[in-house]
C-alpha cells in the first residue's frame, strides 16, 4: 500500500525501521516498545499512534494508553513535544533517533492490547508508533518474552512474516510497511494449536484461555469452510491469497467478537461455544462460533483486499467515511452462514434458523424505517458504534440489513438469469477487479461503482433496486423473492399473539427498567421513557415475568396503568394496548414450489440441502 495522502516528508522508504517489543511488567500490564529510526526527518521527526483500528469504525484514541515516552540520539536525551492527542515531535537531530515508550495493555477485546501473567495480546495499532512520512518503509520487528523463569515456556503466534524467529518462537519478524505492521496481531503465552490444510494453505487455530475444545472436530469443520471460500473466489486456481492463516482465539467465560486481518483473525468466544468431544449435531453456540470464524475469514478477500476506495489507503488519524459498509460487512454477513451450509458444516434447518434470526433482528427495530444502509454505513462512527436507548428507533444495522440486501440481490440475479448467474459472480468480479492485485495497484471500489459492477458480472441491470434497497429506509421484498426460490417465509407475533406495550425492559439492580421505548408504540404514546423504573402495572407490583404474564391476559385496546419512577418522581401512565407487530420469522422449504423455484433453490442452497426428502439438521 502506498503512503497516506497529505503527509509531508515522504522520503527514503528504503531504510528499515527497527521496532522491539517486550512485556516489561506483565503484572502491571505494561509493554515496552523501542523504535530506531536511522535517518529521522531533519525538521524534527513526528510519530503518531492511530486513532482507530481498521475493521472497527470508532475513534478509540489508542495513544491514551501510552504511559511514558522518551527519545534519545546515541546517549543524548532528545526533547519530545506532544503536538496533538496522538502525535509527538522529536527535536531535530543529526544522527539516528531512538524512541522508547510504555503502553498500558488491559483491554480484553479483539481491538486492543491485553497483558497479564497468563498471556499477552496486541494489535499493532495499540503499540507501534507510526513514523510520519515513512509509511512505506519496511519494518524489522523483534518480539521478546517477559523476563523470568515462569515465562520460559511462552510461545508466539502471529501471521507476521518471520525473519529469523522459529515457528511459534520469539525473535525477529518483519513487515513491508506500516500498513502491514499493524495488520498482524500477536498472541504470546501458553496456547494450544490445531492445524489443517485448505487448498494448499496452512491454517492454524490458536486457542488461548481455559477450554475443553474438541480440536479434531473444529479443524474438520473449519477446513471445509475455508476450502469452500477459497473455491468461491478462485474456482479454477483454488488458491488462498496467503500461504498461512491463523485464527487467534481467546476462550473466556462469556464473550464474543472478531476482527479481520490479511492473514489472520483475532476471535473472542465463550468456551462453552467451542465443540466438545462427543458433541452431537451443531448446537446454537457452536453454530455462532463457526459463523464468526467464517465471517472473519471471508474478510480476507472482502475488505482486506477488495476495499472501498475510501479505505485505499486508510487515514489512521480520523474517521474514514464510506456509504458502502453494507457491501463489505453486509455481504460478509450473508456469506458467513451460507458458507457453513455449502461446506456441509451445518444443514438447511440450521441455516434457516440463522437467516430467520437476521430477518427478525431487522424487523424488530423501527430504525429500519428511519435510516438507509448507506446512511448507516456513513454514520457508523457516531451511530452504529455508539448506540444508546434510541438506537433501535433511529438506526438500521448495515450488517443485518446488508446481509438481507445481499440475499435479495442473489435471489433476483438467480431469478432473472434462470439460475445461470448469482451474487457469487459479482463477488468474483469484485475480486478480479479490486482484490487480486490490490497490493500492487491499491485500487478500491468507488462509492457509485457497485450497480455497474453487478451488471458487468451478471448482465442484469439492478440500478433501481439497489438504490431503493440501500439509499432509502424501508422494507425489502424478502417473502416474494424467497417464494420464487421455493422457500416459505412466515411471520408471527412474539408471545403467542399477546397484546403489545411497545417497550423493552431489563432488570437492573433488582429494578424493572425500561431500556427502549419503541417509536410509534403504545408506551411512547402514553409518555413512558427509557430509564423509567416500572413499579406497578394496574396497581400490582411487577417484575419482568409477572408484567409479561399480566399483559398476556389482556386484549388489544384495553388500558393498563403503569406506575414508574422517573428519577425520584412517581408518574402514572395509561397505556392502551396495541396488536403486536409480526416480527418473528420462520423459514421452510416450500413443498408446493414449482419446477422453476425448485431449480433456483437447488442452485442457491445446493442440491443436497434444497431437497425436502434430504437430510436436514
- Residues of this chain that bind Zn ion (CB under 5 A): 329
CA distances from 510 to 80, 208, 277, 539, 549 (A): 51, 35, 38, 19, 18
Grid-cell match 408506551, residue found: 523
CA-to-CA distance for 424 and 159, rounded, in angstroms? 28
Give least dist CB 380 to Zn ion, A.
12
Nearer to Zn ion, 183 or 465 (CB): 183
Grid-cell match 513526528, residue found: 46
Give least dist CB 329 to Zn ion, A.
5
Nearer to Zn ion, 187 or 329 (CB): 329
Give least dist CB 399 to Zn ion, A.
7
Give least dist CB 300 to Zn ion, A.
11
Nearer to Zn ion, 296 or 590 (CB): 296
Q: How far is CA 45 from the centre of its chain?
A: 35
CA-to-CA distance for 39 and 15, rounded, in angstroms? 8
Give least dist CB 373 to Zn ion, A.
14
Grid-cell match 474517521, residue found: 319
User: Hey, what's the cell of 412?
Assistant: 433476483
Give least dist CB 295 to Zn ion, A.
6
Nearer to Zn ion, 329 or 337 (CB): 329
Give least dist CB 398 to Zn ion, A.
10
Find the residue with minimal CB distance to Zn ion: 329
Closest Cα partner for 135 from 231, 230, 257, 7? 7
Nearer to Zn ion, 329 or 425 (CB): 329
Nearer to Zn ion, 179 or 336 (CB): 336
For residue 290, count other CB atoms closer than 10 A to its CB: 25
Phi-psi region of 499 (alpha: psi -120 to 50; beta: other; left: phi over 0): beta
Angle of helix 331-342 relative to helix 284-298, nearest 10 degrees, comes to 120
Nearer to Zn ion, 179 or 329 (CB): 329
Residues 6+ apart with CB under 8 A from 508: none
Give least dist CB 292 to Zn ion, A.
9
Nearer to Zn ion, 73 or 322 (CB): 322
Nearer to Zn ion, 273 or 329 (CB): 329
For residue 220, count other CB atoms closer than 10 A to its CB: 14
Across 137-175, b (16+ Cβ under 10 Å) vs e yields: bbbbbbbebbeeeebeebbbbbbbbbeebeebebebbbb
φ, ψ of residue 489 to 5 degrees: the values are -110, 115
Give least dist CB 288 to Zn ion, A.
14
Question: Which residues, listed in sequence order, are joined to residue 257 by a DSSP beta bridge?
Answer: 268
Amino acid at each position: 500500500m502506498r503512503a497516506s495522502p497529505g503527509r509531508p516528508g515522504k522520503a527514503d522508504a528504503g531504510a528499515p525501521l527497527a521496532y522491539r517489543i517486550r512485556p516489561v511488567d506483565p503484572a502491571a500490564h505494561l509493554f515496552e516498545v523501542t523504535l530506531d529510526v536511522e535517518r529521522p526527518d531533519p525538521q524534527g521527526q513526528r510519530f503518531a499512534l492511530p486513532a482507530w483500528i481498521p475493521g472497527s469504525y470508532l475513534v478509540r484514541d489508542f495513544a491514551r494508553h501510552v504511559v511514558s515516552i522518551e527519545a534519545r540520539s546515541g546517549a543524548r536525551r532528545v526533547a519530545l513535544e506532544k503536538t496533538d492527542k496522538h502525535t509527538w515531535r522529536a527535536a531535530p537531530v543529526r544522527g539516528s533517533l531512538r524512541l522508547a515508550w510504555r503502553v498500558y495493555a488491559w483491554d480484553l477485546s479483539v481491538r486492543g492490547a491485553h497483558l497479564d501473567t497468563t498471556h499477552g495480546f496486541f494489535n499493532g495499532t495499540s503499540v507501534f508508533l507510526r513514523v510520519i512520512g515513512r509509511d512505506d518503509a519496511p519494518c524489522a520487528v523483534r518480539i521478546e518474552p517477559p523476563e523470568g523463569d515462569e515465562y520460559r515456556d511462552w510461545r508466539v503466534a502471529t501471521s507476521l512474516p518471520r525473519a529469523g524467529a522459529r515457528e511459534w518462537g520469539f525473535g525477529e519478524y518483519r513487515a513491508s510497511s506500516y500498513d502491514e505492521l499493524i495488520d498482524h496481531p500477536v498472541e504470546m503465552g501458553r496456547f494450544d494449536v490445531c492445524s489443517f490444510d485448505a487448498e494448499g494453505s496452512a491454517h492454524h487455530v490458536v486457542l488461548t484461555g481455559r477450554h475443553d475444545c474438541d480440536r479434531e472436530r473444529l479443524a474438520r469443520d473449519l477446513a471445509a469452510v475455508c476450502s469452500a471460500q477459497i473455491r468461491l473466489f478462485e474456482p479454477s486456481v483454488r488458491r488462498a491469497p496467503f500461504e498461512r492463516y491463523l485464527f487467534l482465539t481467546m476462550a473466556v467465560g462469556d464473550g464474543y467478537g472478531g476482527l479481520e486481518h490479511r492473514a489472520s483473525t483475532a476471535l473472542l468466544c465463550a468456551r462453552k461455544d467451542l465443540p466438545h468431544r462427543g458433541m452431537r449435531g451443531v448446537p446454537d453456540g457452536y453454530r455462532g462460533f463457526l459463523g464468526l470464524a467464517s465471517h472473519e475469514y471471508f474478510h480476507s478477500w472482502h475488505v482486506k483486499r477488495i476495499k472501498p476506495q475510501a479505505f485505499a489507503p486508510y487515514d489512521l488519524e480520523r474517521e474514514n467515511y464510506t456509504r458502502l459498509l453494507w457491501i463489505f460487512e453486509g455481504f460478509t454477513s450473508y456469506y458467513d452462514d451460507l458458507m457453513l451450509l455449502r461446506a456441509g458444516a451445518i444443514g438447511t434447518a440450521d441455516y434457516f434458523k440463522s437467516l430467520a434470526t437476521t430477518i427478525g433482528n431487522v424487523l424488530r427495530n423501527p430504525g429500519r424505517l428511519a435510516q438507509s444502509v448507506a446512511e448507516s454505513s456513513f454514520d457508523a462512527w457516531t451511530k452504529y458504534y455508539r448506540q444508546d436507548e434510541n438506537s433501535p428507533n433511529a438506526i438500521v444495522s448495515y450488517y443485518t440489513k446488508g446481509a438481507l440486501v445481499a440475499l435479495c440481490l442473489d435471489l433476483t440475479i438467480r431469478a432473472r438469469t434462470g439460475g445461470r448467474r448469482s451474487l457469487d459472480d459479482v463477488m468474483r468480479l469484485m475480486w478480479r477487479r479490486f482484490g487480486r492485485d490490490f497490493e500492487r495497484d491499491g485500487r478500491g471500489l468507488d462509492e457509485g461503482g457497485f450497480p455497474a459492477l453487478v451488471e458487468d458480472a451478471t448482465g442484469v441491470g439492478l440500478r433501481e433496486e439497489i438504490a431503493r434497497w440501500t439509499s432509502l429506509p424501508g422494507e425489502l421484498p424478502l417473502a416474494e423473492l424467497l417464494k420464487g426460490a421455493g422457500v416459505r417465509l412466515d411471520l408471527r407475533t412474539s408471545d403467542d399473539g399477546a397484546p403489545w406495550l411497545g417497550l423493552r425492559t431489563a432488570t437492573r439492580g433488582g429494578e424493572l427498567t425500561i431500556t427502549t421505548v419503541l417509536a410509534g408504540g403504545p408506551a411512547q404514546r402514553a409518555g413512558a421513557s427509557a430509564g423509567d423504573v416500572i413499579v406497578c402495572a394496574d396497581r400490582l407490583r411487577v417484575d419482568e415475568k409477572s408484567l409479561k404474564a399480566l399483559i398476556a391476559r389482556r386484549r388489544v385496546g384495553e388500558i393498563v396503568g403503569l406506575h414508574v419512577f422517573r428519577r425520584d418522581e412517581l408518574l402514572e401512565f395509561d397505556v392502551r394496548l396495541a396488536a403486536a407487530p409480526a416480527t418473528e420469522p420462520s423459514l421452510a422449504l416450500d413443498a408446493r414450489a414449482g419446477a422453476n423455484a425448485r431449480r433456483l433453490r437447488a442452485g442457491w442452497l445446493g442440491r443436497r440441502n434444497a431437497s425436502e426428502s434430504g437430510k436436514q439438521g
